[in-house]
Amino acid sequence: MQNIRSKLNFIACCAALTAPLSVAAQLEEIVITAQKRPESLLESPLSLVVISEQELERSHFVDLADLATLAPNLQVLPHPNAASTLLLFIRGVGNSDEQVIQDPSVAVYLDGVYLSRSQGLASEFLDLERIEVLRGPQGTLYGRNATSGAVNLITKAPSFDASNFSQTLNTGSRALLRATTHLNVPVSDSVAVKVSYQNSQQNGFVRNVGTGAPRFGDEDRNAWRIDGLWQPSDDLRVRLIVDSEEASDTPAYVGAVGLLPDRVDAPKAGSVWVSDLQKNYVQADGLTAIVDWQVNSHWQVRSITSKRELSDFQYQDLHSGVRGPIAVLITEAQGTQEQLSQELNLTYSNADESLTAILGAYWFDEDANRNARNTVPGAKVRKLVFGRTINNKAKALYGQVSWRPDWREQNLELTLGVRASEDERYVLIDRAQQSLPDGPLMFAPMSNVGQREFDNVSPSFMARYQLSDQAYVYAKRVAGYKSGGFNARASTAARFSEGFDDETLVSRELGVKAELLDRRLRVAATVFQSDYDDIQMNVQSDPNNIVVADVLNAGRASIDGFELDIDALVGEQSELTLRYGWLDANYDIIRDANGQNIASDYRFMGAPEHSVLLAWSSVLGASAESGLRYSVSYSWRDQFFGSNTTDAGVYQVPAHGLMSGDLSRAWDFDWGSLEASLWGTNLLDTAYYRWHYNAGAGGAIPSGVWGEPRTIGLKLKLEL
């Protein structure tokens, strides 16, 4: 910690020494849509981090994995078996599994469309205007599977102002080459179209000296997007979006490491015994229609209709050479998923906005299939699961009303919300076993079938009080819910069919938001306490056999925390950002099949006690237009657990900090502009784990997935 404090003090001192003295500027006002209607960040009774387009560019954001360095109390873990799969945790609550018959705890939305699967989240989403990270349960407005929070990805709509074209080229360490093209064309006074394309390639940092793909962690991605906007009048706006992302990345390298305090740096090369290392593959396609109709001065209707398709293949070689010249485990899986969704909401506000409301209906239908093969060469056996039919349906009605009574100049606002949800799940899978190398498939005598229905009512209550024109305090009690499901690794067919129930989380929060010093200082602070019930945990399920485990609603936990976000202008052209999160997450009760409380054997994974971001951005020169802009940031995470259970050892990701920087200069010409940036991530070349867990396939092999080493790059951006 002393080393961390020294680095943070160094950055702060540099900021103070280089700060211009003028005090005329103000922080830009931030408008968000986290509550499904435009509102000021200052006035929203939410704990959230808003990452602007400028911050995304300065931090050289690539995919959702980079959010972990930008938003405290958010963790993003790479799934070791699938390069395209990410596992998200907010305030210590997430899901360490990626089964399509189980749901995540963090809801991810792209332009208002729910992305239901963890697969494909490592895609490079194009043309982002901002990202909103909502911390805490969002059950009323976002529904199921926003138990711990939500991530909103908001893209830039086409513009009617003028035709414009931009081309960005990024090159850097490990043969990085990323080319991004945007073209915006106003076809008429009422129609505009924007087309975007991106190709991204970069070599991994661990060579494969066996056979197959040349490296672990290679990235090879393509994405395109066509965004059309039709606005025949000021009252009607229709947006049609077609998008596609494709990735052929190789799996991350998973190495055998020790338990803490031992730590092993990433090797330069893998084992010579790796055989036929294969690329992962994912393709995600979407079609979205968004209609906004301003009925009159009080009522507005919004409709979001979407269809999305996902197909993926994953492959991972685990620990070839660790126990001999063969892999401990080889995992393979492939599947397809298709989802249809429709959301319709109606917003209302009276003349003086003392009464506002939103009423909505939501419908979702998902069909998927997934086949998995787990090969254990040492045992000369291959276990297979065929997901023949997977269907999920969801529907919900929700409403939220805010009222400012005619009391004390209407400084008090009371908000009441509720959401009623119904979910249906059906799954039919078959199991088989095969003797290696090519023995016959021996199918289980009967299919595993599961069919369950779940319903939930998630209420919310918020009170906000305006202390002054630029300061608010709020208190809230909100609930979230994650639907139940099934476990493909269930111990028996009967246990599979039984499935598990939904889990809930209720959070109580107190917060304050203020803009001070003539909007030169913005402060937001939240303290919260959460009760987490009926937690879906993998525990002993047979009272007479301690090695038989299943997912049961066995847990109860308490989570306390604090979040602080500060933005400050120092002079006219310098900005300082501080974001901090503190967590105290503990399991109170986890009961096994014998009814015993075994909570002492469990830990919250993905929940560092402290996490912080300190960033500084400024200009060297007379003005932002002619000066040299530079930014530097330092993101630090306390150590956190990489596994819920301790029966095979205590797995922890060590505390680590990452420093990034950017130096850029822009030139304006009659024909357009040119910007050049020299940038770097992990500038101190810190060796760190992204995940530490057991990958022993029945035995204990402490394993690590490493983060990227120092990367230096050059970016050129041309705008016409």
pLDDT (tens digit per residue) in 202-232: 999 999 999 999 999 999 999 999 999 999 9
Residue pair 163/187 in contact (Cβ under 8 Å)? The answer is: no
The structure tokens listed for 119 are: 């697969």
pLDDT score at 622: 61
pLDDT score at 1: 43
pLDDT score at 647: 76
Residue pair 542/491 in contact (Cβ under 8 Å)? The answer is: yes
Show Cβ contacts of residue 11 under 8 Å, excluding neighbours closer than 6 positions: 614, 616, 632, 634
pLDDT score at 645: 86
Query: Which tens digit of pLDDT belongs to each residue from 438-468?
Result: 899 899 888 999 999 999 999 999 999 999 9
Q: What is the mean pLDDT of residues 52-72?
A: 92
pLDDT score at 13: 41
Which helix (H) or strand (E) segment is 58 a member of?
helix 53-58
pLDDT at 20 over 80: no
pLDDT at 9 over 50: no
Residue pair 139/460 in contact (Cβ under 8 Å)? The answer is: yes
Backbone angles phi, psi at 4, to 5 degrees: -65, -45
The burial class, CB within 10 Å (0-12 / 13-18 / 19+), for 17 is exposed
Q: What is the mean pLDDT of residues 9-20?
A: 39
pLDDT score at 626: 64
Buried b (16+ CB within 10 A) or exposed e, 550-565: bbbbbbbbebebbbbb
Confidence of residue 261 (pLDDT cuts 50, 70, 90): confident
pLDDT score at 14: 39
- Picking from 639, 609, 549, 601, the residue whose alpha carbon sits closest to that of residue 259 is 639
Place of tokens 């850029």: 664
CA distance 517 to 511: 20
Say whether 710 sits in a helix, a strand or coil: coil
pLDDT at 157 over 80: yes
Buried b (16+ CB within 10 A) or exposed e, 497-506: ebbbebbbbb
Confidence of residue 624 (pLDDT cuts 50, 70, 90): low
Q: C-alpha angle 71/73/75, rounded to 5°?
A: 80
pLDDT score at 634: 97
CA distance 468 to 452: 51
Q: How many domains does the chain have?
A: 1
pLDDT score at 100: 84
Residue pair 298/235 in contact (Cβ under 8 Å)? The answer is: no
What residues does 153 pair with on adjacent strands? Answer: 110, 131
The burial class, CB within 10 Å (0-12 / 13-18 / 19+), for 353 is exposed
pLDDT score at 84: 80
- Ramachandran region of residue 129, left (φ > 0), alpha (ψ -120 to 50) or beta? alpha
pLDDT at 600 over 70: yes
The CA-atom distances, in angstroms, between 504 and each of 134, 139, 277, 552, 643 are 17, 10, 41, 14, 21
- Kindly report the average pLDDT of the chain as a whole number: 91
CA distance 623 to 573: 8
Please report, for the domain that includes residue 679, its CATH number. 2.40.170.20
pLDDT score at 338: 96
What residues does 511 pair with on adjacent strands? Answer: 474, 526
Q: What is the mean pLDDT of residues 625-631?
A: 83
Query: Which tens digit of pLDDT belongs to each residue from 168-180?
Result: 999 999 999 999 9
Confidence of residue 620 (pLDDT cuts 50, 70, 90): confident
Greater model confidence, 623 or 535 = 535
**pTM here?**
0.93
The total of other beta-carbon atoms located within 10 Å of residue 594's CB is 11
Q: What is the mean pLDDT of residues 253-271?
A: 89
pLDDT at 163 over 90: yes
Query: Which tens digit of pLDDT belongs to each residue from 421-431?
Result: 999 999 999 99
Residue pair 661/611 in contact (Cβ under 8 Å)? The answer is: no
pLDDT score at 356: 96
When mean pLDDT is compared over 120-129, 135-144, 282-291, the highest value belongs to 282-291
CA distance 255 to 274: 12
The CA-atom distances, in angstroms, between 712 and each of 181, 463, 677 are 22, 47, 11
Look at the chain and count its residues. Answer: 720
The proportion of the chain whose per-residue pLDDT surpasses 70, expressed as a percent, equals 96
Backbone angles phi, psi at 391, to 5 degrees: -140, 130
Greater model confidence, 122 or 683 = 683
pLDDT score at 625: 64
The structure tokens listed for 68 are: 């972990």
> Residue 459 sits in which domain range?
2-719
Q: What is the mean pLDDT of residues 89-110?
A: 91
The total of other beta-carbon atoms located within 10 Å of residue 32's CB is 21
Query: Which tens digit of pLDDT belongs to each residue from 461-498?
Result: 999 999 999 999 999 999 999 999 999 889 899 999 99
pLDDT score at 211: 96
